Amino acid sequence: MTGALHLIGRTLPDDQPVQLWVVDGILHTEPVADATTICESGWILPGLVDAHCHVGIRFGGGHTDHDEMVADARVEREAGVLLLRDAGSPVDTRILDAYEDLPRIIRAGRHLARPKRYIRDLSIDLADPERLPDAVAEQARAGDGWVKLVGDWIDREVGDLAPLWSPEILKAAIDAAHAEGARVTAHVFGEQALVDLVGAGIDCIEHGTGLTDETIEMMVEHDTALVPTLINIETFPQIADGAGKFPRYADHMRDLHRRVADTIGRAHDAGIRIFAGTDAGGSIRHGRIADEIAALIGVGLSPLEALGAASWDAREWLGRPGLEPGQRADLVVYREDPRTPAGVPDHPDLTVVGRHVFRP
């Protein structure tokens, strides 16, 4: 589409009437002559955010190639996701930056783990855990301001979830990331690793199913963010079913799953900042942000909070603009009020990415 565009609607969270113009893919809030009106009513939101989305990991396992990355990013766009934080990718996705109609990606480099302590072929596995601070600094330089650690995983000798790193190494590693200007997040399912990671000053926790009153309080104190990836937690019973030789681990996973609504609900009640992430990639299909928004409402976020967790609040947290003049037009429009107990439709009624306009 060429020429100036014009949109009329209401914005959230303030619920005020708004008019926007798009010229050469850039947002304007002052009237522009001869613009084509593409939206006369509806709710206009900053493009949705999936804060945990692996475009580099193939569904079912393995690394995605170029065409699969483009296809996966397109599916995210069709769901209204125009910004994603990859939370770790085994492949370099920067080739996608050349496509101006695809979502923007905030990269976290490669997952950092130890041998046999994460999904095969995805992580950099450190035989010597003392190397973690150096490895973190390298990944901080390779990413876009985030580093991803594997905080806990099954330890086959213990037969249960167990932390990968000592509290001392974590402190040194997180300090090293901060010295590079990067934030750190970690995959955590169980209880103990949360004590160590939050105590060491980590910036965000992924999953967080093992949160207790103690670690919830610690996260509030440290202002640690949480991306619970609730639709991924739904796969825990399958993980448990496949854990034949490790009954203690299987029971632990089933228990974490059974309590998840209460756990994340209590974290929200305590005031922890929660953001929407689907964990699309290996075990979750792309394009499911609407399901995660609905799941967040299901554990106690209001519809407006859950939308903010997948749009304006997530953008502010990630340091990316919302509907701001002079910035690339990244927005979605819902014809009906999206603040419903069931969440939002799977596809917005209109999506604008720079100079590109999409309707389902």
Q: Residues in the site for Zn ion, rule: CB under 5 A? A: 87, 279
**Which is nearer to Zn ion, 123 or 351 (by Cβ)?**
123
Single-letter amino acid, residue 322: G
Name the residue nearer to Zn ion (CB basis): 160 or 279.
279
User: In the block, which residue shows the tokens 């150096």?
Assistant: 134
Q: Could you tell me which residues come within 8 angstroms of residue 285 by beta carbon, excluding any fewer than 6 positions away?
A: 59, 75
**CB of residue 206 vs Zn ion: minimum separation in angstroms?**
6
> By C-beta, is 20 or 122 nearer to Zn ion?
122
Contact between 202 and 268 under an 8 Å Cβ cutoff? The reply is: no
Q: Quick one: 87 or 112, whose CB is closer to Zn ion?
A: 87
Nearer to Zn ion, 27 or 205 (CB): 205
What are the residues facing 350 on neighbouring strands? 333
Cβ-based neighbours of 157, under 8 Å, separated by 6 or more: none
Shortest gap between Cβ of 101 and Zn ion (angstroms)?
A: 25
Quote the CA–CA distance of 77 and 69 in Å, as a whole number. 12
CB of 7 to Zn ion, least distance (A): 34
Closest to Zn ion by CB, 122 or 216: 122
CB of 231 to Zn ion, least distance (A): 12
Note whether 285 and 195 are within 8 A (CB).
no
Q: Whole-angstrom Cα distance, residue 56 to residue 72? A: 9
Question: Closest separation between CB of residue 189 and Zn ion, Å?
Answer: 11
Which residue's CB comes closest to Zn ion? Answer: 279
- Decide whether 5 or 81 has the Cβ nearer to Zn ion: 81
DSSP at 60: T
SS (H, E, C) 66-134: HHHHHHHHHHHHHCCEEEEECCCCCCCCHHHHHCCCCCEEECCCCCEECCCCCCCCCCEECCCHHHHHH
Minimum CB separation of residue 237 from Zn ion in Å reads 18
Q: Quote the tokens at residue 327.
A: 């910035």
Compute the distance between CA of residue 19 and CA of residue 207 in angstroms, rounded to an integer: 38
Residue with Cβ nearer Zn ion (87 or 323)? 87
Least CB distance from residue 136 to Zn ion, whole Å?
A: 18
CB of 52 to Zn ion, least distance (A): 6
Burial class (CB in 10 A: 0-12, 13-18, 19+), 181: exposed
- For residue 142, give Cα distances in angstroms to 64, 107, 271: 19, 8, 32
